[in-house]
Amino acid sequence: NSGDSYPIRTLEELGSRARDVLAANDIGTMVTAAPNLYPHMWSWDAAFVATGLSTVSVARALQELDYLVAAQWKSGMIPHIVFSDVPGYFPDVDRWGTRGVAPEGVQSSGICQPPVHATMLRRIVERATAAGGEDARLAEEFTRRTLPHWVDWHAWLRSARGGDGSGLLTIYHGWESGMDNSPRFDGPYSRVQPGDMEPFVRTDTLKVTDHSQRPSDEEYGRYLWLVQQMADVGFDDARLPAVMSFQVRDVFMSAIFAAASEDLAVLAEQFGLPEEAPQLRQWAREFRDGVDATVDEETGLARDRDVLTGEWIGPPTIAGFAPLVSTADQALLDRQLEIFEGPDWTGDPRLAFPLPASTSTTYEGLKPRQYWRGPVWPVMNWYLAHCLRRRGDRKRYHQLCEASLAQLMEGHFGEYYEPFTGEPLGSMDQSWTAAVALEWLA
Ligand code: 9YW
């Protein structure tokens, strides 16, 4: 990328640059999440990347999902990182200690990430079906072949993480939420006391040299301690509730699970596993209700819950909009949309673009440059807009589309953006940012 190629002038150019980013991050077996910072496959990134890729090549998109599915553990869990052989990311597979637990030949982490996969697969199938011919044939073949794996993945989430009747999934690490250092997790993390562990050297801060854009060393110490707690019990799902010092019912992940279970039911009916659909729909209902039940009457936002203390989690973050993803309650939806478009969120006149920040812009803990503590994440903009479009809300989809494209025209495909200035932050040429640019343009 040469400096004088910014900003981008036309939407055609934006599309072609986004395709270039994905091509450059493609190492053959996978499209890495980002060129330097994240040289591996991340689970929910891969799903978003696949839908972006499908605007270019359905075959390449399905290959991405295939690679992820091949890393699925015997339990049904799909790991949050599938490692390539590119060195330089910490914690690596050795530090994770998953060899011998992960399937033979698979190098992976030992935790999961939000299950957006079935939703993105449904999107790809719809695109391929509309295109017809070879694309449609490939998508059908892929879906028939991999459906049992996606069903196993959902069954694992429901049984290992969501079997307590709350209609909410429990996470044992902030990384599982995909929103690593969100203030959502400050309370639970404050009670994590790292014990003796091997020393470590971070690599992320060698790459994002402005350290104020990344989590702190103290936070990393806790992240690594949780990895060690899991490794000590061999990543045995049955033992995690007794040993983990971080346990949160993640409301946003639960909403994603509800929506994706519905999407998976549709795919199951269409592609040869209709007998699975009633169970999937039952899970969708259970988690939809679980999410709705977390809404704070006063703020109108959905809340996580700390399992170890029983406390609700207060900070106003983007996860509070979980019902936009999953609810069937029209009054709740209306209230959430009013808040979403109000002065604490996309209606804040100080914003560079009317897009949701990762925390409310009026939150006292807002850090507009730091990761999940304030910046705007392009991938979230598209995911929420996609959920609204699914409900038939084309108007809001187009509004968010216009604002997001305007943001992305600066041309760096940043991992996240400063909400008030629009400055790209974190990693540049981030794959899922390029992928959602292609979705917006499709
Ligand atoms: C890390 C890859 C991942 C995303 C997460 C995001 C970040 C990785 O990057 O975490 O090492 O901090 O928080 O959601 O999947 O893009």
List, in order of start, the domains of the chain with CATH numbers: 3-441 (1.50.10.10)
State whether the beta carbon of 208 lies less than 6 angstroms from ligand 1: no
Residue range 80-128, pLDDT digits in tens: 999 999 999 999 999 999 999 999 999 999 999 999 999 999 999 999 9
Task: Decide if pLDDT at 279 tops 60.
Answer: yes
In angstroms, the first-to-last Cα distance of the chain is 24
**415 counts as catalytic:** yes
Q: What phi and psi, each to the nearest 5 degrees, are found at residue 312?
A: -75, 155
In this prediction, residue 365 has a pLDDT band, given cuts at 50, 70 and 90, of very high
- The closest-lying atom of ligand 1 relative to the alpha carbon of residue 430 is 16
Note the ipTM here.
Answer: 0.98
Element (H, E) at 382: helix 378-390
Among residues 180, 263, 304, 418, the one annotated as catalytic is 180
Task: Decide if pLDDT at 353 tops 80.
Answer: yes
- The closest-lying atom of ligand 1 relative to the alpha carbon of residue 34 is 16
Residue having the nearest C-alpha atom to atom 6 of ligand 1: 178
CB atoms within 10 A of CB 396: 18
Question: What pLDDT sits at residue 2?
Answer: 45
Question: What pLDDT sits at residue 116?
Answer: 99
Sequence-distant contacts of 212-217: CB under 8 A, at least 24 apart: 212/367, 212/369, 212/370, 213/369, 213/370, 213/371, 213/425, 213/426, 214/370, 214/371, 214/426, 215/180, 215/181, 215/371
For ligand 1, mutation pick of 22, 45, 78, 82 (most atoms within 8 Å of CB): 45
